[in-house]
């Protein structure tokens, strides 16, 4: 399959750049959405602090990593030191507090893998999920945001890839396809691999930010304002990158042997990580190393059926990028 084709990039890709940029622009959240997020966060902080004065709230996920499209739900993490009470009790108590303050659709999901409270704020119209002490997610959110500040093409590519994945139904972890977080990591890896590289490897540079979270050492270079010119030797446009991204995952990635790793800026071997066979529910059919929890394969949700769906979608996208006269329309057609 990998040998299937060595194709040449189509010659009119330049013409497609403007339409892709227009789609990207249309997905960017308006400034007023940011203001509403702040407003809701302030309200939640006030409510939470009456019960736990030392607690802090952090935004994480797409509302804070700069990869959020407009009208996304917001993800909030409550950081609380006092863990005498267990997470379920905190979740239930939070739900009580929010309910009595007229927040709507308040639900306490205490049995979920990551227990959360869900709510909707009628004033801003925003929905939000609140989890407890998920500090690793707060730190990986910062890593993603810092990468996005280095080169504008990361955010552009990731918006297009996320938009494609949502349109095509392959952004559903409960159905065995990939999370938005996994897709952004795939985009970072891909831009690290371009020659000349468009992104550096922040975790291999001098440490300017570090945190130890749940025994995991998270260290990287975060003075990204110093890296604004990093990708300037590479002139590839968005449409070229979209084409090459899908082409890579359709025809060039070695699914049998390779793990992508933004931590090392490399492709590493499945063998080395002992990810060559199914262990429990982890099948390792597409291997994406988490940058901090390196024993986590973000592709572990993918099973023998969904890997087929996923690869067929990569191939469809690559073929549309290669041959379709109007790829912007076709790529995002609902499945």
Q: What are phi and psi of 209, to 5 degrees?
A: -140, 130
Q: Is 229 exposed, middle or buried (0-12, 13-18, 19+ CB in 10 A)?
A: exposed
If we measure between CA atoms, which residue out of 250, 262, 239 comes closest to residue 327?
239
Could you tell me the smallest distance in angstroms from the CB atom of residue 309 to ligand ATP? 18
Cβ atoms of 1 and 253 within 8 Å: the answer is no
- Hey, what are 294's tokens? 């390196």
For the segment 156-215, give every residue that binds ligand ATP (CB under 6 A): 179-181
Binding ligand ATP by CB under 6 A: which of 17, 39, 72, 193? Answer: 72
If we measure between CA atoms, which residue out of 157, 168, 188 comes closest to residue 311?
168
Helix (H/G/I), strand (E/B), else coil: 279: strand
If we measure between CA atoms, which residue out of 161, 45, 181 comes closest to residue 114?
181
Could you tell me the smallest distance in angstroms from the CB atom of residue 140 to Mg ion? 13
What angle (nearest 5°) sits at the alpha carbon of residue 124, between those of residues 123 and 126? 120
Could you tell me the smallest distance in angstroms from the CB atom of residue 67 to ligand ATP? 5
CB nearer to Mg ion: pick between 61 and 291: 61
**Distance (Å, rounded) from C-alpha 170 to C-alpha 238?**
22
For the segment 134-163, give every residue that binds ligand ATP (CB under 6 A): 137, 140-141
Per CB under 6 A, does 60 bind ligand ATP?
yes
Residue 140's binding partner among Mg ion, ligand ATP, none (Cβ under 5 to 8 angstroms by kind) is ligand ATP
Residue 237 DSSP symbol: -
CB nearer to ligand ATP: pick between 13 and 310: 310
Contact flags string 60-89 toward Mg ion, x per CB under 5 A: -xx------------x--------------
Could you tell me the smallest distance in angstroms from the CB atom of residue 180 to ligand ATP? 3
Per CB under 6 A, does 99 bind ligand ATP?
no
CB nearer to Mg ion: pick between 74 and 198: 74
Residue 67's binding partner among ligand ATP, Mg ion, none (Cβ under 5 to 8 angstroms by kind) is ligand ATP
- Hey, what are 297's tokens? 């394969």
Residue 68's binding partner among Mg ion, ligand ATP, none (Cβ under 5 to 8 angstroms by kind) is ligand ATP
CB nearer to Mg ion: pick between 30 and 83: 30
CB nearer to ligand ATP: pick between 197 and 332: 332
Could you tell me the smallest distance in angstroms from the CB atom of residue 168 to ligand ATP? 14
CB nearer to ligand ATP: pick between 169 and 196: 169
Cβ atoms of 191 and 265 within 8 Å: the answer is no
If we measure between CA atoms, which residue out of 79, 22, 4, 1 comes closest to residue 328?
22
Cβ atoms of 207 and 220 within 8 Å: the answer is yes
Contact flags string 274-293 toward ligand ATP, x per CB under 6 A: ----------------x---
Alpha-helical (H) ranges within 215-299 are 238-247, 270-273
Per CB under 6 A, does 67 bind ligand ATP?
yes
CB nearer to ligand ATP: pick between 44 and 218: 218
Helix (H/G/I), strand (E/B), else coil: 282: strand
Residue 188 CB contacts under 8 Å (≥ 6 apart), including other chains: 144, 147, 154, 199, 262
Alpha-helical (H) ranges within 168-269 are 180-193, 238-247
Could you tell me the smallest distance in angstroms from the CB atom of residue 292 to Mg ion? 18
User: Which spans of this chain sit near Mg ion (rule: CB under 5 A)?
Assistant: 61-62, 75
User: Which spans of this chain sit near ligand ATP (rule: CB under 6 A)?
Assistant: 60-62, 65, 67-68, 72, 75, 137, 140-141, 179-181, 290, 296, 298
């Amino acid at each position: 399959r990998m040998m299937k084709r060595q194709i040449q990039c189509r010659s009119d890709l330049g013409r497609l750049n403007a339409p892709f940029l227009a789609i990207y622009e249309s997905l960017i959240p308006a400034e007023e959405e940011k203001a509403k997020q702040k407003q809701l966060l302030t309200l939640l902080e006030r409510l939470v602090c009456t019960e736990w004065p030392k607690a802090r709230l952090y935004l994480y996920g797409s509302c804070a990593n700069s990869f959020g499209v407009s009208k996304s739900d917001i993800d909030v993490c409550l950081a609380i030191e006092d863990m005498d009470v267990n997470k379920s009790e905190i979740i239930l108590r939070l739900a009580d507090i929010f309910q009595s303050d007229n927040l709507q659709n308040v639900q306490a999901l205490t049995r979920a893998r990551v227990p959360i409270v869900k709510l909707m704020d009628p004033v801003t119209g925003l929905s939000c999920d609140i989890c407890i002490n998920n500090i690793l997610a707060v730190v990986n959110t910062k890593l993603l945001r810092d990468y996005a500040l280095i080169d504008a093409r990361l955010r552009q590519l990731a918006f297009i890839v996320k938009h494609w994945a949502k349109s095509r139904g392959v952004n559903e972890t409960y159905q065995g396809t990939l999370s938005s977080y996994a897709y952004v990591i795939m985009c970072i890896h891909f831009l690290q691999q371009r020659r000349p590289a468009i992104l550096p490897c922040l975790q291999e540079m001098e440490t300017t930010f570090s945190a130890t979270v749940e025994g995991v050492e998270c260290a990287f270079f975060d003075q990204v304002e110093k890296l604004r010119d990093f990708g300037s030797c590479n002139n590839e446009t968005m449409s070229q990158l979209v084409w090459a991204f899908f082409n890579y995952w359709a025809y060039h990635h070695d699914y049998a042997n390779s793990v992508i790793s933004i931590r090392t800026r490399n492709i590493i071997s499945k063998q080395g990580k002992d990810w060559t066979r199914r262990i429990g529910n982890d099948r390792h059919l597409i291997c994406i190393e988490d940058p901090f929890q390196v024993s986590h394969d973000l592709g572990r949700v993918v099973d023998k059926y969904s890997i087929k769906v996923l690869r067929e979608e990569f191939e469809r996208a690559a073929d549309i990028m290669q041959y379709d006269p109007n790829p912007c329309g076709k790529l995002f057609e609902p499945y």
